[in-house]
Structure formats: C-alpha cells, structure tokens
C-alpha cells in the first residue's frame, strides 16, 4: 500500500531529467521546455564525463600499482575535460540565473 502512495506522489513531482516534449505548448512553455531539455543534456553529459574521468583515473592508479591497463587520457587531456565540464556547468548556472530573473520580472 505504501508503494502505491509513493508512486502516485512521485508521478506528481517535477522531474527535470525527463524529456519535456515542446509540441503542443505555447511559446513561453515551449521556451522553458527547450531550456529544461538543454539543461538536462548538459547535466547528464557532465555527469557522464566525470564518470569517464574517474574510470580513467582508476586505470591510471591500477597501472601504476600493478601493471594494469594504461589510462586512455594523459594528465593534460584529463585536466582539459575537467575544465570543459566545469565551464559547461557554469554556463548552465548562468542560464538558470537568467531564467530565474525572467520569472521574477514576469511577476
């Protein structure tokens, strides 16, 4: 019984990491749906990139300690990808702030 009430509650929650179809929405809602879709892609991409970097660092550590497989990325490549993830999330943060400011002005 508790499961069914949680399921009903979960379906009513806002879920930004699902695809928001823009079809059938007015202009303002379509703009927000497209923004949420872009934000989802940036966050999921950054998360995937960070998982790849962690995996590669584990390979590096294993190679140093037990002649395991060599890492795919060098230190410079790893640092560049980390900066890319940080910059992408920073740009998303700025976009979120702009969206929030727009919502405040609309009130």
Domain total of the chain: 1
Task: Extract the residue ranges of the chain whose pLDDT is less than 70.
Answer: 1-17, 107
14 part of a folded domain: no
d(CA 40, CA 1): 32
5 part of a folded domain: no
15 part of a folded domain: no
From 38, 39, 49, 54, select the one nearest 85 (Cα to Cα).
49
Residue 3's pLDDT is 41
18 part of a folded domain: no
Domain assignment of residue 30, given as a range: 24-106
pTM (2 d.p.): 0.67
19 part of a folded domain: no
61 part of a folded domain: yes
Residue 44's pLDDT is 86
């Amino acid at each position: 019984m508790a499961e069914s009430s949680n399921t009903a509650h979960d379906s009513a929650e806002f879920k930004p990491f699902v695809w928001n179809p823009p079809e059938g929405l007015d202009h303002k809602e379509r703009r927000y749906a497209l923004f949420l879709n872009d934000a989802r892609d940036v966050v999921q991409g950054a998360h995937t990139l960070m998982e790849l970097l962690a995996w590669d660092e584990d390979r590096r550590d294993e190679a140093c300690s037990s002649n395991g497989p060599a890492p795919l990325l060098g230190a410079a490549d790893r640092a560049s990808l980390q900066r890319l993830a940080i910059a992408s999330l920073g740009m998303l943060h700025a976009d979120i702030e702009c969206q929030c400011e727009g919502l405040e002005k609309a009130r």
